[in-house]
Amino acid sequence: MGNVDLSKFNNSWYNPGSKIKRLLWYFVNILFFKTSLPYPSKFKVFILKLFGAKTAKNIIIKPNVNIKYPWFLEIGNGAYILTGNHNYKKETFDLIVNPVIIEDGVWIGAKSIVCPGSVIKTHSVLSVGSVFSGISEEGYTIYRGNPATPLRLRKIT
Looking at the structure, tell me whether residues 90 and 65 fall in a common domain: no
Which residue among 32, 56, 75 closes a domain? 75
Looking at the structure, tell me whether residues 107 and 35 fall in a common domain: no
Separation of alpha carbons 9 and 24, rounded Å: 30
Looking at the structure, tell me whether residues 86 and 146 fall in a common domain: yes
Looking at the structure, tell me whether residues 111 and 153 fall in a common domain: yes
For residue 2, the model assigns a pLDDT of 61
User: What are the average pLDDT values for consecutive 10-residue runs of the chain, which has 157 residues?
Assistant: 70 88 97 95 96 91 91 86 88 87 92 96 96 96 98 92
Looking at the structure, tell me whether residues 40 and 92 fall in a common domain: no
For residue 114, the model assigns a pLDDT of 96
For residue 87, the model assigns a pLDDT of 87
> Is there a domain that residue 138 lies in?
yes
> Is there a domain that residue 5 lies in?
no
Instruction: Say if CB 39 and CB 10 are below 8 A apart.
Output: no
CATH of the domain at 111: 2.160.10.10
Name the burial class of residue 44, with classes exposed (0-12), middle (13-18) and buried (19+) by CB atoms within 10 angstroms of its CB: buried
Looking at the structure, tell me whether residues 37 and 91 fall in a common domain: no
Instruction: Say if CB 37 and CB 63 are below 8 A apart.
Output: yes
For residue 8, the model assigns a pLDDT of 76
Task: Show the CA angle centred on residue 114, arms to residues 126 and 30, nearest 5°.
Answer: 115
Looking at the structure, tell me whether residues 60 and 27 fall in a common domain: yes
Looking at the structure, tell me whether residues 53 and 66 fall in a common domain: yes
> Is there a domain that residue 1 lies in?
no
Specify the pTM: 0.70
Looking at the structure, tell me whether residues 69 and 102 fall in a common domain: no
Which residue among 25, 52, 75 closes a domain? 75
Sign of CA dihedral 62, 133, 78, 16: positive
Domain that holds residue 116: 78-157
Q: How many separate domains does the chain show? A: 2
